[in-house]
Amino acid sequence: MKMMKKEGLGWIELIRGWSCVIHEFLFQRFMASHLQNPLPLPSLNHLTCIVTGSTSGIGRETARQLAEAGAHVVMAVRNTKAAHELIQQWQNEWSGKGLPLNLEAMELDLLSLGSVVGFCNVWNARLSPLHVLINNAGIFAMGEEQKFSKDGYEQHLQVNHLAPALLSLLLLPSLIRGSSSRIINVNSVMHYVGFVDPDDMNVVSGRRKFTSLVGYSGSKLAQVMFSNVLLKRLPQETRISVVCLSPGIVLTNVARDLPRYVQVQYALIPYFIFSPQEGCRSTLFSATDAQIPEHCEKLKTDDKPICTFISQDCKHTKPSEEAHNIETANRVWEKTMELIGLPLDALERLIEGQEVQCRYGTHQE
């Protein structure tokens, strides 16, 4: 007997999912009360980190704090002028505290998969090791109508999932050189209310009504599912950890897209909402905690088809029930590879150091 195709989350799953979202909103400050702000970091002089979307919000704080701890930080951003201005500002503020900060800006537009390929080609051509890739950039165009990138994909899907997936895969040669490196995906508690139909990832079939919430939560769930499969498929000898995390509910530039009356409500509830400095703690923890690689290795050999998921209070937690769906996750993997223009065996070939053709440009070593 053929199984009926799942068209969305059931009522019980939705109730559980929304209870997780509400719980995080109401209690995140209490749950994270044991954390210092800012989060103390060890010396990171040996690390090279790429941080996407690092001119505002969580990404901006992440880049600054990593650099102040000694890391070489690459700000991968659309607006390199804004990044250079920030770098100058940070250097001035840091003056006299130690060696100049090791920061640079590189252009990357996640709404263009061709830009992702170009960025990876420029970076990989250096033949330098990459120790930490932080896929931080994301969008949540609350209340807006459905929009598509020039590549033809729904904007939440492309920025929050497809572009970071392509970036992570094409940077594998540099991550392997990093030896014990990490792919860190800034995800969201909203993935608990997300649903992904691998046959309709753009949400255009009409089977589900598109809203910005559907687009955002679905893209975040797709990222977790893809990360689950990626961790399982990476051979142990690559020594690459894959982590998804929730930064908590944070007052960032996402709020600028909110309707005016919601922005007002946002401003009235600062007690519950994290500042970007508080919101970046789970990212910094995921990037630097010494136990993360060991935890990832354990999950890789475990029966559970999940990657490491770090909650906003810097503790290990589990992604949503739907994220545990192995069959859907494998289909999301295959569909993602198709959408980002890579062959299904791209992962294996990239690990072996072979050149891979991408529909959006040639990936070069």
At 272 the pLDDT is: 79
Q: Is 79 exposed, middle or buried (0-12, 13-18, 19+ CB in 10 A)?
A: middle
Q: Residue 243 in 3-state DSSP?
A: strand
Residue 27's pLDDT band (cuts 50, 70, 90): very high
At 124 the pLDDT is: 95
What does the alpha-carbon distance between residue 324 and residue 322 come to, in Å, rounded to a whole number? 5
pLDDT at 258 over 80: no
Give residue-wise pLDDT tens across range 307-316.
999 999 999 9
What does the alpha-carbon distance between residue 208 and residue 7 come to, in Å, rounded to a whole number? 8
pTM: 0.94
At 143 the pLDDT is: 84
Residue 301's pLDDT band (cuts 50, 70, 90): confident
When the pLDDT of each residue in the chain is averaged and rounded to a whole number, the result is: 93
pLDDT at 184 over 50: yes
At 259 the pLDDT is: 60
From 3-7, 233-237, 253-257, 334-338, the region with the lowest mean pLDDT: 253-257
Residue 52's pLDDT band (cuts 50, 70, 90): very high
Q: Is 233 exposed, middle or buried (0-12, 13-18, 19+ CB in 10 A)?
A: middle
Residue 1's pLDDT band (cuts 50, 70, 90): very low
Residue 267's pLDDT band (cuts 50, 70, 90): low
Residue 269's pLDDT band (cuts 50, 70, 90): low
pLDDT above 90 covers a percentage of the chain that reads: 85
Cis peptide before 38 (omega within 30 of 0): yes
**Of the ranges 97-101, 173-177, 266-270, the best mean pLDDT one:** 173-177
Residues 135 and 52: beta-carbon distance below 8 Å: yes
Helix extents (H) in 95-154: 113-124
Mean pLDDT of 68-87: 98
At 363 the pLDDT is: 53
The residues annotated as belonging to the active site are 216
pLDDT at 251 over 80: no
Give residue-wise pLDDT tens across range 104-162.
999 999 999 999 999 999 999 999 999 999 999 999 988 899 999 999 999 999 999 99
At 302 the pLDDT is: 82
At 88 the pLDDT is: 98
List of residues 6+ apart from 138 with CB closer than 8 A: 53, 159, 160, 186, 188
